[in-house]
Copies of this chain bind each other. A is one copy, B any other.
Amino acid sequence: MSAKNHYTNYTPVYLALDCIVFGFDNEKLKLLLIKRNFKPFKGSWSLMGGFLEPKESIDESARRILLSLTGLSDVFLEQLQVFGAVNRDTEARVVSSTYYALIKINDYDHDIVKANGAAWHEVGKIPQLIFDHNEIVETALNKLRRKCRTQPIGFELLPEKFTIPQLQNLYEAILDKTFDKRNFRKKLLSMNLLDKLEEKDRAGSKKGAFYYQFNRERYEVLSLQGFNFEL
């Protein structure tokens, strides 16, 4: 054993953090991808990634990377999976801990994003990505689809104020199916988690649709009492 630590018999690895960034433009579910700006495969489409720094936890690292590439902090960000096939990276042994982010599509910093050569892609039309990133995207999509039906995470993709038809469009886009609008509205409102505002959104129609707000505090109280969000 070395003087340094008891683990020197083992081989360390590079730990990458890769973020799958979802956004919703009121029509389609989209993914933010960048043109990789370092070797190897500089210029290829890729997830937003970086490497762990010694003095940050992996969560902090993922947030740092997301902030540096989009200007966003204070975002829904959750671990997806670790990808650790032996030759997934061509340069060195790199294990990737992946995170998926749900962002409000109008909040990110367009300049930073453009400077990084990033662009939104419909989830149905993802280009070829480097390494195993296409597989990672598939995994993230599956996770999002499962999770959005049992946890109120969809709201992370919408502005603070949103209309019921907007919300329905979102779920239809994520799950790639349609809902009956009467049943959808009834279901969501019956959970008692949406606060109706006075104000209307007049962008979508002449009549205008009332804005609602998700009440997170009420959700947390109800959760503790055994309530389960379910779509």
Q: A residues engaging B (CB < 8 A)?
A: 4-7, 10-15, 38-40, 51-59, 61, 79, 81-82, 84-86, 91-95, 97
Contact = CB atoms under 8 A, between A and B. Distances in A.
A14 to B, nearest CB: 5
Contact of A14 (B7, B53, B86): B7
A177 to B, nearest CB: 11
Given A12-B14, A12-B15, A58-B82, A91 B51 contact: no
Given A57-B86, A58-B82, A86-B57, A95 B52 contact: yes
How many copies of the chain does the oligomer comprise? 2
Given A79-B82, A95-B97, 9 more contacts: A6-B39, A7-B14, A10-B52, A12-B12, A13-B15, A13-B52, A15-B84, A54-B86, A82-B82
B54 A11 contact: yes
Contacts of A13: 12-15, 52
Contact of A11 (B38, B53, B84, B97): B53
A61 B77 CA distance: 27
A10 B53 CA distance: 7
A52 B83 CA distance: 13
A86 B94 CA distance: 19
Contacts of A10: 14, 51-53
Contact of A92 (B5, B40, B91): B5
Contacts of A59: 84
Nearest to A60: B86
Contacts of A39: 6
Contacts of A5: 91-92
A37 to B, nearest CB: 12
5 interchain residue pairs of minimum CB distance = A58-B84, A12-B12, A10-B51, A5-B91, A5-B92
A54 B93 contact: yes
9 contacts: A6-B40, A7-B92, A10-B51, A11-B53, A13-B14, A15-B15, A52-B84, A54-B93, A97-B97
A52 B6 contact: no
